[in-house]
Amino acid sequence: MWQFWVDRGGTFTDIVARSPDGDVKTHKLLSENPEAYKDAAVHGIRSLLDLGVDDPIPAGLIGAVKMGTTVATNALLERKGEPVVLVTNSGLGDILRIGYQNRPRLFDLNIVLPELLYTDVIEVSERLSAEGDVVRPLDEDEVRADLQRAFDDGTRAVAVALMHSYRFPDHEQQIGKIAKDIGFTQVSVSHAVSPLIKLVGRGDTAVVDAYLSPILRRYVNQVRDALGTVDGKTAPLMFMQSNGGLTDASLFQGKDAILSGPAGGVVGMVQTAAAHDINKLIGFDMGGTSTDVCHYAGAYERSFARATNHWMSTRPAQNLQRWRSRLPWKPERRRARSRNWRQDSCGLPSRTWPMRSRRSACSAATM
């Protein structure tokens, strides 16, 4: 039977196929070309099988399809995920906005806060101590009323993150059950998504999962339906996770999909080099949208807390450094640098030299 390995990137989709007689074939096509096809991976597979767009796939023809995809990454970067309501403790509604107060660009004068992934916050009246004692019982009627209002407003995804729930998840489980009873189609509870200490990282991961999982589910169902055979069955479909391992399509979730495509590149690099007895590697994977760099010295390097577009994910992932492949040209910055201009602490233009002969406009204005 045919075997397919697919890398769906932001710009191109690459397919490697092995026919039943052992021949290896490759195919490359644009990831987005709506005038020609609905999905690049499915169209490429059909092309390699010499099937038309509407031709049914014969039963027993495809053995397996294994795919790495940037669908989740692009949805996160472009803010095209599912609207999410966040449920957390009373008084902590802005905890994810505050975050850890990390400042990667310490001297920036104009701080641009990232756009929040959730559209609404519900603060519930409950509190458990660090030992699991009920300090304030959960008001289920209040939770049900608040979630019903969010549901009536059109929200279908909810993320629940409560203090100490990584050890004592009872209240999160109750809220999750209420949300499912109301009709929410995506319920991400932090103790199940990322059962780790620290509310911010756990809450971020729950929000990311609720934000991305519906997008992934629709894409997975689209690919699975398109690969259905004439006997009503579907070829085995597996997706690469951020940690470099494969999982069945039905288990593929947003929390493990952010580095799905790049992680496959790391595994491919290591396996290719191993065939030549090489185990010290630096990987450079430059695509049309982003560029990934990784390091290997006999063991896969993984990270367990990774920020993607300002949002933290506390899930195992391949340790990759990622940059945009192309930076926008901004000639005004070049002109500013060439004239030695800067902004002083008031945001007013000030020359960087000669400093001894003048005072900044800000200092003079505030005297």
| Strands 84-89 vs 157-160: parallel, antiparallel or unpaired | parallel
- Predicted confidence at residue 334, as pLDDT, reads 44
> Among 117, 120, 121, 113, which Cα is nearest to 76's?
117
The pLDDT value recorded for residue 108 is: 82
Q: Name the phi and psi angles at 139, rounded to 5.
A: -90, 95
pTM for this entry: 0.79
d(CA 222, CA 226): 6
HEC string for the chain: CEEEEEEECCCEEEEEEECCCCCEEEEEEECCCCCCCCCHHHHHHHHHCCCCCCCCECCCCEEEEEEEECHHHHHHHCCCCCCEEEEEECCCCCHHHHCCCCCCCCCCCCCCCCCCCEEEEEEECCEECCCCCEEECCCHHHHHHHHHHHHHCCCCEEEECCCCCCCCCHHHHHHHHHHHHHCCCEEEEHHHHCCCCCHHHHHHHHHHHHHHHHHHHHHHHHHHHHCEECCCCECCEEEECCCCCEEEHHHCCHHHCCCHHHHHHHHHHHHHHHCCCCCCEEEEEECCCEEEEEEECCCCCEECCEEECCEEECCCEECCEEEECCCCCCHHHHHHHHCCEEECCCCCEEECCCHHHCCCHHHHHCC
pLDDT of residue 235: 79
pLDDT for position 346: 41
Phi and psi dihedrals of 261, rounded to 5? Answer: -65, -55
In tens digits, the chain (367 residues) has pLDDT values of 899 999 988 888 999 999 999 999 999 999 989 998 888 999 999 999 998 877 888 877 888 999 998 888 878 878 889 999 999 999 999 999 888 877 777 888 887 777 889 999 999 999 999 998 999 999 999 999 999 999 999 999 999 999 999 999 999 999 999 999 999 999 999 999 988 888 998 999 999 999 999 999 999 888 888 887 666 677 789 999 888 889 998 888 888 888 887 888 888 889 999 999 998 999 888 877 677 888 888 888 877 655 555 556 666 677 777 666 665 545 444 444 444 444 444 444 443 434 333 333 343 333 3
Closest among 24, 63, 8, 14 to 227, alpha carbons compared: 63
User: What pLDDT is attached to residue 229?
Assistant: 66
**Cis geometry, peptide bond prior to residue 354 (ω within 30 degrees of 0):** yes
Delineate the domains of the chain, giving CATH numbers in brackets: 2-76+217-260 (3.30.420.40), 81-203 (3.40.50), 340-365 (no CATH)
How many Cα neighbours within 13 Å face the side chain of 38? Answer: 10
